[in-house]
A and B are shown apart, each in its own frame.
Chain A
Amino acid sequence: MSHQEPRKIISIEREVLEKNDRMARMNREDYARRGIFVLNLVSSPGSGKTALLSRTLERLQGRLRAGVIVGDLATDNDAQRLRGFGAPVVQITTDGYCHLEANMVARAAEELGLDGLQLLIIENVGNLVCPSSHDLGENVRVALLSTPEGEDKPAKYPTLYKSSQVVVLTKMDLAEAVEFDRDAARRTIAEVTPDARVFELSSKTGLGMDAWIDYLVQSIVK
């Protein structure tokens, strides 16, 4: 015998990412209490996050105490590249996960040890889509754009660039060779994310690195 079950609508109105957002808030409060300035580096794979990070650690050595959390899909190659600059490095292998989440960062931070740190740099998984919806508790989200990727990336991936407070143009030493239109890139960034601070540099030649390092040092003094 079949009969119609009584059906009812239950109103929910909840954010799907509420758990991550809550965890990110806790991370942010913890970092603020300890006086740590936190960066979340996002970009597509191969745009130079690890190269920028290693040059950054090299220059910060002896100037301020930095720690690094690196997210990678499967290997610890990036973490290997970053060791040897006097900064603690913890690797999160996401096993195919396309982005980092706030709870992964909290666990990694515990492993890293936050005592005495002034700067925490989180290198997210190389991906232009997924990391944009996951707050990790950072102070500043830094989107990298390498010259070979082309100047219209910010218009193609507005979600990521609009959620970033800093944009770093990397591999500027290749700009001419890959016919990168710098003015068009600056214009696109200014239109898509007008409040973002923009840096242009080359980790390889050191061009523009001083301004970037000064920015980090000043952010910490604040």
Chain B
Amino acid sequence: MIDWLSALFSLLIFPGFAFLFLCALTFQWIDRLVVARLQGRVGPPWYQPLADFIKLLAKEDVLPIGAHELACAALPMVSLAAVLTAALYIPVGTHSAPSFEGDLIVVLFLLSIPSLAYFLAGWLSGSVFSVIGGNRSLLQYFSYEVPFLMALSGPAILSGSWSIAQITAQQSHAPWIALVQPLGFFLALTGLIGKLKRSPFDIPKAKSEIGAGPLTEFSGRKLALWQLSLHIKTAVGIFLLVNVFLGGASIGLPAPAVLVFGIKALLVLLVLSLVDVLYARLRIDQLVNLGWRVLAPLALVQVLVVILIGVG
């Protein structure tokens, strides 16, 4: 009975849906506020992301003629479900997730499903801009995913385990992997920026070129679910990086685990916001170039270094 209740609590409240929903809104607000302040603007009030979500739920939900109605209704839900499932295996603060050997691979796979859904949404929603955006998002996926996966396999090889909880636990009595493999950390951050389609890699939804890219024709509830899934992906991606590279909730000193975890997550978010502000958007061919000529070889170098020097 208690098991049932605690499982339900984990799924729906902490660190389940309610917690992730709150994290998505908070991270979005902090990101927008930091970017605004760096640009000299005021930034939104704290309730803005919540207000945007509620507003979208209340809006009319139309699709153009030629859009695949069933797919367009299902895809945002698929994306949201994949992201929420991925969050189950990532420890947050003190909470220990149900872990097993290999859950890192499962999480990475689950986090790729929203990218695929995004691309399909572009193809199936019946607009020129969304088709172009969908093509670009797939090209982008192949450019950042390989370095991202290789960068995340470095800590796994170093820790001798493919379980996120184990990798995190190892760092409580060893230096953080970000310090030991700085190149890997840099590549993981770059890959995360590509995954979250933030500037300078916001190519599929380049506002001035193709409207909103794959999501151009979505509105109302569908768009609300899409945005929610993308923002929860931000939170989940940051939590993943904090666990794998920054040691989760450990800091070497006795301190409240949730606070430590929260501060580390905020620091990663601040880095992402800073990168957003600093650069112009790349073109898709420039990103493909960058991904395959620079990032992938660097990731290979990092993995080789770990294999030859790190372990044993």
Partners in one complex: no
A-contacting residues of B (Cβ < 8 Å)? Answer: none
